[in-house]
Amino acid sequence: MSDGAYEAAARDWLDQDPDPETRDELRWLLDTGDAGSPAASTNAGASADAGGAADAGGAAGPGDSAELADRFGARLEFGTAGLRGELGAGPNRMNRVTVMRAAAGLAAWLNAQSTASAVVIGYDARHKSDVFARDTAAVLSGAGIAAMVLPRPLPTPVLAHAVRHLGADAGVMVTASHNPPRDNGYKVYVADGAQIIPPVDAQISAAIDRVGRVDELPLGEEWQTLDDGIVTAYEDALDRLPLGDARDISTVYTPMHGVGRDVLLEAFARAGYPTPRVVPEQGDPDPDFPTVAFPNPEEPGAMDLALALAERTGMELVLANDPDADRVAVAVEGRLLSGDEVGGLLAEHVLRHTSGEDRLVATTIVSSSLLRRIAAAHRVRYAETLTGFKWLARAGGPGDRPVFAYEEALGYCLGGDGGRPVHDKDGIGAALAVAGLAAEAKRAGRTLRDLLDEQAERYGLYATRQVSVRVTDLAEIDTVMRRLRREPPAQVGDRKVLAAEDLATGPDGLPPADVLRYRLDGEARLIVRPSGTEPKLKAYLEVVEHVPNGDVTATRREATTHLDTLENAVHTLTTP
């Protein structure tokens, strides 16, 4: 498109935009070229100190073609992760026009599937989340679809549970999860309570492409706002989780400025645990996330306040949800446990408190290989999927009874003999189970770190690490992946590559994926893939070390050295 075409597209957008804030932002941009206008800053809702982009772009002169090209030369792509992006005006941003188009596309897809549909809509406390939820309800209602909106900002697992509980045909959750403050997003669930997978994503995306001007969409007003009974139903379902009967554990908890606090505290009270001590600076929902650079428990520094509070007060366990509370991070004795470590511990906890050879445990191709060993030891079924709970929620086949699934990025889904409350990752339910596991260990005079050592002695030490390579230009990711395919490495660090596998061909019955997997000598592994939600390349490392004479401490040091060597090699391999 030419500069004139970008400006014409912007003015057409301006004519149909129902949001006065983004209209002011776009007028400012067209008139002055300043993407850092007061309107844009307000709409982004993020301070520079909080990792936001309040001054992104800067003054650039009237009708800045680069800024217009960024906003109007592309659009946010709708895929299996729905939509996620920076707030602002234009099709390459999250805004009311983008959301209304997505809702209209979803409505068209649903109406093509059946003559009577219902959708439940949830939202978190990010900037514009409540507005986007109402817009979605209005568009769906105008298309003849029954829309039900959750009563207030609530965790994603409440929405995922509500889809099945209410017998809805689909669900929408307005959230950007753990992304920076300037972002928002739009997740879509289908009737089984799991997020969409191909070909549904492509079908909805095609329907979105056919949507015309949003100011010509029929809007309804007859949607239903649900009451807190929907939250109670979710809490009732959590009562069926295999928690064990130990309850004596003291806990520090942070919702990371998100929406998890009230639901988690109620869940802990119902289960009979002592009330967690909430990090006061991070207890209330705040869309600017003022105490963290990124509201992601995995990011360096995000857990500092929680760890400091636990140290001051002598609390035994630290739990942290991400802002939409679908993930949980765990720390004990001042150390943050990895997602793989928690996954291995929770797997055995669930298997101890359930029964039957039809039980299924599942994880992803980038998570630790330990779960396969645990499944074999407990004589239960095992499945492996692509990354994401949209796949894990559907793992297994006829005759399988899923009781546990996890991915290394702090996502866990638990079920028991009464089934799974949520067909998605659930940071509230997982927090309950971790507390039960820690209390059980305490009763036996042990800690979670002791349990990790015992697993290492029993199965070997499975040491893992994720390495993220951030980029400013997404094209750099494609460059690296093409080069690795064209010239597969013969060695990574000090280890030979024994086998290289390109998952773009869909091996082992898996759907095709942009993933490269390398088996290295000495029981080691490297997996490389682009992030599905952030501008970065991800590498997953694993080394397996046998524990001689029960000396787990020395073995951990040795494994760390090996991982350091592999990480250095990964940075060299992934340089664009």
Same domain for 410 and 521? no
Over residues 311-342, the pLDDT tens digits come to 999 999 999 999 999 999 999 999 999 999 99
- Domain's final residue, options 174, 200, 229: 229
* pLDDT interval class at 54 (50, 70, 90): very low
E strands, 127-212, in order: 146-149, 170-174, 183-190
Same domain for 271 and 182? no
Same domain for 471 and 452? no
Q: Read off φ and ψ for residue 119, nearest 5 degrees.
A: -130, 135
- Domain's final residue, options 179, 197, 229: 229
The confidence score (pLDDT) of residue 417 equals 80
The reply to whether 249 falls in a domain is yes
DSSP states of 415-447 as a string?
-BTTB-S-SS--HHHHHHHHHHHHHHHHHTT--
Same domain for 275 and 369? yes
Give mean pLDDT, residues 57-85.
Answer: 77
The reply to whether 374 falls in a domain is yes
- What is the number of other CB atoms lying within 10 angstroms of the CB of residue 457? 16
Same domain for 34 and 122? yes
Give mean pLDDT, residues 439-458.
Answer: 97
Structural domain including 180 reads 3-229
Total structural domains within the chain: 3
Output Rg (C-alpha) for the chain, integer angstroms: 24
Same domain for 391 and 314? yes
Same domain for 337 and 376? yes
Residue among 141, 177, 367, 369 flagged as catalytic: 177
Same domain for 448 and 553? no
The confidence score (pLDDT) of residue 465 equals 95
Same domain for 162 and 291? no
The reply to whether 234 falls in a domain is no
Residues 6+ apart with CB under 8 A from 433: 241, 242, 243, 346, 349, 350, 412, 414
Over residues 512-535, the pLDDT tens digits come to 999 999 999 999 999 999 987 678
Same domain for 224 and 344? no
Give mean pLDDT, residues 546-571.
Answer: 94
CA distance 398 to 419: 15
The confidence score (pLDDT) of residue 116 equals 83
Over residues 114-147, the pLDDT tens digits come to 878 999 999 999 999 999 999 999 999 999 999 9
The confidence score (pLDDT) of residue 1 equals 62
Question: Do residues 358 and 393 touch, judged by C-beta distance below 8 A?
Answer: no
SS3 of 75-144: the string is CCCCECCEEEEEECCCCCCECHHHHHHHHHHHHHHHHHHCCCCEEEEEECCCCCHHHHHHHHHHHHHHCC
Sheet holding 277-278, edge to edge: 277-278, 251-254, 317-321, 328-332, 335-336
Is 141 tagged catalytic? no
> The CATH number of the domain where 106 resides is what?
3.40.120.10
- Domain's final residue, options 401, 434, 457: 457
> The CATH number of the domain where 546 resides is what?
3.30.310.50
Question: Please, what is the Cα angle at 49 between 174 and 91, to 5 degrees?
Answer: 40
The confidence score (pLDDT) of residue 42 equals 42
- From 25-34, 195-204, 365-374, the region with the lowest mean pLDDT: 25-34
Cα separations in angstroms, 48 against 56, 181, 430? 9, 10, 33
Same domain for 68 and 53? yes
Per-residue pLDDT at 539 exceeds 60: yes
Three-state DSSP class for 478?
A: helix
Give mean pLDDT, residues 45-72.
Answer: 53
> How does the average pLDDT of the chain come out, rounded?
92
Same domain for 476 and 448? no
Bridge partners (DSSP) of residue 122 are: 173
The reply to whether 327 falls in a domain is yes
- Preceding omega of 507 cis (within 30 degrees of 0): no
* pLDDT interval class at 64 (50, 70, 90): low
Residues 6+ apart with CB under 8 A from 163: 120, 170, 171, 189, 190, 191, 193
Per-residue pLDDT at 46 exceeds 50: no
